[in-house]
Amino acid sequence: MIKQITTALFFAMTLISCDSGNKGEVKEKANEPQTIVMETNDPHTFAKPDEVVVKHLDWTANVDFDSSMIIATAKWTIENKTGASEVIFDTKGLKIDYVTVGNNDEIGTFILEPEIKYMGQKLIVSITPNTEIVRIYYRTTENSDALQWLTKEQTADKTHPFLFTQSQAILARTWIPCQDSPGIRFTYNARVKVPHQMMALMSAYNPTDTMINGVYDFQMEYPIPSYLMALSVGNIQYQSVGRNTGIYAEPSMLAKSVAEFEDMQEMVDSAEALYGAYRWGKYDVLVLPPSFPFGGMENPRLTFATPTILAGDKSLTSLIAHELAHSWSGNLVTNYNWNDFWLNEGFTVYFENRIMEQVYGADYANMLALISYQDLKAEMEDFGMESPRTKLKLDLAGQDPDEGMTSIAYDKGFYLLKLIEQTVGREEFDSFLKTYFDTYAFKSMTTEGFVAYINKELLSKKSEWKEKVNLNEWIYNPGLPENCPKIISDRFEKVEGELTKLESGTAPSELATSNWSTHEWLHFLRNLPTEMTQEQMIALDKTFGFTKSGNSEILAAWFVKVIPNNYKEAKPAIESFLVSVGRRKFLTPIYKSLITADPSKAAAREIYKKARPNYHAVAVQTMDDLLDWNQN
Ligand SMILES: [Zn+2]
pLDDT, tens only, 569-599: 999 999 999 999 999 999 999 999 999 999 9
Taking the centre of ligand 1 as the mean of its atom positions, its distance from the CA of residue 69, in whole angstroms, is: 29
**What is the rounded distance in angstroms from the CA atom of residue 409 to the CA atom of residue 479?**
12
**C-alpha torsion 379→383→386→389, nearest 10:** -80
Residues measured by CB to lie within 5 Å of ligand 1, the ion: 345, 348
E runs forming strands in 545-588: none
Taking the centre of ligand 1 as the mean of its atom positions, its distance from the CA of residue 326, in whole angstroms, is: 7
Taking the centre of ligand 1 as the mean of its atom positions, its distance from the CA of residue 323, in whole angstroms, is: 6
Tens digit of each residue's pLDDT (9 = 90 or more) over 340-397: 999 999 999 999 999 999 999 999 999 999 999 999 999 999 999 999 999 999 999 9
Tens digit of each residue's pLDDT (9 = 90 or more) over 183-213: 999 999 999 999 999 999 999 999 999 999 9
Q: Which phi and psi (to 5°) does residue 448 adopt?
A: -65, -40
Taking the centre of ligand 1 as the mean of its atom positions, its distance from the CA of residue 568, in whole angstroms, is: 36
Burial of 35 (0-12, 13-18, 19+ CB in 10 A): exposed
Tens digit of each residue's pLDDT (9 = 90 or more) over 245-268: 999 999 999 999 999 999 999 999
Could you list the active site residues? 323, 410
Flag whether pLDDT at 536 surpasses 50.
Answer: yes
Taking the centre of ligand 1 as the mean of its atom positions, its distance from the CA of residue 196, in whole angstroms, is: 34
Range in 9-23, 289-303, 351-365 with the lowest mean pLDDT: 9-23
For residue 557, whether the previous peptide bond is cis, meaning omega lies within 30 degrees of 0, is no
Flag whether pLDDT at 46 surpasses 80.
Answer: yes
What average pLDDT score do residues 557-563 get? 98
**What is the rounded distance in angstroms from the CA atom of residue 175 to the CA atom of residue 418?**
38
Taking the centre of ligand 1 as the mean of its atom positions, its distance from the CA of residue 375, in whole angstroms, is: 15
Q: Residue 15 — very low, low, confident or very high, per pLDDT cuts 50/70/90?
A: very low
Flag whether pLDDT at 32 surpasses 70.
Answer: no
Taking the centre of ligand 1 as the mean of its atom positions, its distance from the CA of residue 631, in whole angstroms, is: 33
Which pLDDT score, from 0 to 100, does residue 632 have?
A: 55
Taking the centre of ligand 1 as the mean of its atom positions, its distance from the CA of residue 345, in whole angstroms, is: 5
